[in-house]
A = this chain, B = another copy of it.
Amino acid sequence: MYTASILGVIKAYIFDANNPYRDKAMSMLRRIVVEPVFGISLAIAVIAFVTGAVNPNFWTVENWEAILRWIIALSVMAMGESFVLISGGIDLSVGSIAAASGMVLAYLIHCIGIPIPISIFLTLLFGLSIGLFHGAFVSILSPPFPQIMPAFLITLVSKIFFGGFAQAITLGWPIVLHQYRALALVSTTPILVTILLITAILSIYIQRFSILGRYVYAVGGNIDVARISGVPINKVRLFVYGYSGVCAALAGVINTSLMMTAYPGTGLGMELFAIASNAVGGVSLAGGEGMALGAIIGSFLIGLIRNSLVLTGVSPYWIESVTGIILAVAVVTDLYRRLRIR
C-alpha cells in the first residue's frame, strides 16, 4: 500500500505533463538519486535478478528483512564516513568505535545499571567525543599539512586504541544482555528502518540543502579557497568527524541490540567496508564530491552480494574472491559511465 502510494506520486510527476512541479521535482530527483546511483543500481538489479533465478527464496519478505537487518549498521556508519570523505579527510576508526561503543553500552547497562535509553544516549556521546577529538587534531595540524595526513594518522591510532580497548575492558569476554528485553526493540525491523530513514534524511538534508553541507563540500574541494572565502574550516571539521563518530557509535548500538550481546570483536575492520561503500557509491576519496545516498547504495550492494552468494550456494572458500570480482565489475561499469559523462 505504502509502495503503491509512492508509485502513484511518482507517476503523477512523470506522466502528468501539466504538473507545474514536474520539472522541478524531476530535476531534484535527478540531483538526489539518479546521478550517483545509476551504475550501481544496474549492478544491484542484475545481482537480484540472477540470485532470484537461482534461488527463488531470494524474493521472500523474510530474506529481504534479513538483508536489511544486517546492512543498516553498515549504512549508518558509511553515511557518517561520507561526511569525512567529502570534507577531504578519512576516518579509519569507525569500526573500532563501533566495537568500543557496543562494549561501553553493555557496560553502562549491565555493570553500572543505567537505564537503557540513557545508556544509549551516553554511548552516542562517547562516539561524539572521540569524533570531536579527531576533528580538533586535524584542525590543529591542517593546514599547513594536507588534511589527509593528520586524519589518517590520528584515526589509525584511534582504530588501534579503541580496538584494543574493546577487548581489554572484559579481557575479551562478551557481555550478555539477554535479560534487557527493551534493548531488543532497537533492532526490530520498523525501528531499524526508522533509524536508517532518519539518518539518511538528516545526512542528505545537511549535504544537499544546508549551509553547513555547502561548507563541507568547499573544505573537501579546496581547503585554502574555503578558508580565504571565510568558511569556518575548523568548525566544519569538528562537525564531520563528530558526526562520523556518532554514526559509528550508533552502528555499535545496533550491532549490540541485534545480538543482545556485546562482543568485543564486532565491528572491528568494518571501516574498510564503510569506506568501500562510499567509494562504490561514488563518493570521491579525494574529497569534495559524492553524497550520503551513494554510501547507502554502496553498503546495500555489499550486503546484497553477501546474501546472494549464500543463497546461490557459492563455496564459502570462494565467497571472498567472488565478492571481489562482482565488486570489480560493478565499480568498473560505474566508473566507465561516469568517465563518459565527464
Q: What is the CB-to-nearest-CB distance from A273 to chain B, in angstroms, rounded to a whole number? A: 10
Task: Return the contact of A156 from the options B156, B163, B276, B318 (Cβ within 8 A).
Answer: B276
Is A339 positioned at the interface, with any CB of B under 8 Å from its CB? yes
Q: Which of A60-83 contact B (CB under 8 A)?
A: none
Q: Contact between B148 and A285 (Cβ–Cβ < 8 Å)?
A: yes
Q: Contact between A323 and B164 (Cβ–Cβ < 8 Å)?
A: yes
Encoded as 1 (CB less than 8 Å from any B CB) or 0, chain A from 131 to 175 comes to: 000000000010011111110111011111111110110011000
The complex places the Cα of A1 from the Cα of B147 at a distance, in Å, of 45
Q: Name the B residues within 8 Å of A171 (CB-CB).
A: 317
Q: Name the B residues within 8 Å of A279 (CB-CB).
A: 149, 152-153, 156
Q: Which A residues have a C-beta under 8 Å from some C-beta of B?
A: 141, 144-150, 152-154, 156-165, 167-168, 171-172, 269, 272, 275-276, 279-280, 284-286, 315, 317-325, 327-328, 331, 335, 338-339, 342
Q: Name the B residues within 8 Å of A276 (CB-CB).
A: 156
Q: What is the CB-to-nearest-CB distance from A304 to chain B, in angstroms, rounded to a whole number? A: 15
Q: Contact between A168 and B317 (Cβ–Cβ < 8 Å)?
A: yes
Main secondary structure of the interface of A (DSSP, over half): helix
Residue picked from A149, A315, A325, most chain B C-beta under 10 Å:
A149
Q: What is the CB-to-nearest-CB distance from A262 to chain B, in angstroms, rounded to a whole number? A: 16
Q: Contact between A317 and B157 (Cβ–Cβ < 8 Å)?
A: no
Q: Contact between A285 and B323 (Cβ–Cβ < 8 Å)?
A: no
Q: Contact between B328 and A164 (Cβ–Cβ < 8 Å)?
A: no
4 nearest interchain CB pairs?
A164-B320, A161-B324, A146-B286, A164-B321
Q: Name the B residues within 8 Å of A335 (CB-CB).
A: 141, 145, 149-150, 153
Q: Name the B residues within 8 Å of A339 (CB-CB).
A: 141, 144-145
CB contact under 8 A between A154 and B317, given known A335-B141, A339-B144? no
Q: Name the B residues within 8 Å of A328 (CB-CB).
A: 154, 157, 161
Q: Name the B residues within 8 Å of A269 (CB-CB).
A: 269
Residue picked from A141, A321, A322, A325, most chain B C-beta under 10 Å:
A321
Closest B residue, CB atoms, query A338 = B145
Q: Contact between A161 and B318 (Cβ–Cβ < 8 Å)?
A: no
The complex places the Cα of A149 from the Cα of B141 at a distance, in Å, of 24
Task: Return the contact of A321 from the options B147, B161, B323 (Cβ within 8 A).
Answer: B161
Task: Return the contact of A320 from the options B167, B284, B315 (Cβ within 8 A).
Answer: B167
CB contact under 8 A between A158 and B286, given known A149-B279, A335-B150, A339-B141? no
Residue picked from A172, A280, A328, most chain B C-beta under 10 Å:
A328
Q: Name the B residues within 8 Å of A153 (CB-CB).
A: 279-280, 331, 335
Closest B residue, CB atoms, query A282 = B149
Task: Return the contact of A165 from the options B167, B315, B321 (Cβ within 8 A).
Answer: B321
Q: Name the B residues within 8 Å of A168 (CB-CB).
A: 315, 317-318, 320-321
